[in-house]
Amino acid sequence: EVQLVQSGAEVKKPGESLKISCKGSESSFNNYWIGWVRQMPGKGLECMGTIFAGDSDTRYSPSFRGQVTMSADKSLNTAYLQWSSLRAADTGIYFCARQKIYGWGSTGWFDTWGQGTPVIVSS
Amino acid sequence: DIVMTQSPDSLAVSLGERATINCKSSQSLLDRSKNENSLAWYQQKPGQPPKLLIYWASTRVSGVPARFSGSGSGTDFTLTITSLQAEDVAVYYCHQHYSSSYTFGQGTKLEIK
């Protein structure tokens, strides 16, 4: 059973950069779309975008385009989410999740989730 | 973006009773190529990541108790929990994968009355 293991909690100051990771337990990780989902404190789930780990093709949700960068290293079975300049409003828990592929490459539900990476941005 | 709206925002149900959560999408989620609705339900307990319960609007994930069921089509969907158990206390989210914005509902908090 595939597992997604995320990097640990981060405490940063506004203006700092950050890169968090999501590592898949199997090489099949590279055959899936991986989504990044934000959960702000006490709030719901927001999909930031998805990345195909095998070729780093990305799809950003409109609200997050230009705010974050998704990347992947297929040799390490790892996806990344990074910020160049954090803001207090980026505080939250960030989940990665594997997206089901069906049919001729259509993408579906998120069937496997990482444990989440808490990010706190505070001066 | 497709907007997903859940109702109610919170719900208190007695143990052993039925809980019903509704989800409405701003456009049809029917994938005509598959004749399936691109709608999933997740359960999130405090301090845990979401857990997939149901996909294609009504297909239960292996290992999910049979008291959980999903129904609906087009723009209106329902998650039903028959005979509520204490371990079902959680926040429940609907999620559309019809468009690549992959939006979620705002969540419904389910508690024991």
Give A 62-101 residues with CB within 8 A of chain B.
Answer: 62, 95, 97, 99-100
Rounded Cα distance between B88 and B16, Å, is: 11
pLDDT given at position B29? 97
pLDDT band at residue B24 under the 50/70/90 scheme: very high
Q: From chain B, pick out residues whose CB is under 8 angstroms from the CB of A116.
A: 49
Interface test with A, best of B102, B104, B106 (most A CBs within 10 A): B102
- Of all residues in chain A, what percent carry a pLDDT higher than 90? 85
**Nearest CB to A111 within list B31, B52, B104:** B52
pLDDT of B77 over the 90 cut: yes
Q: Give the closest residue to B91 by CA, choosing from B77, B104, B101, B73.
A: B104
- Which pLDDT score is estimated for A106? 85
pLDDT of A104 over the 90 cut: no
Residue of A nearest to B101 (CA): A61
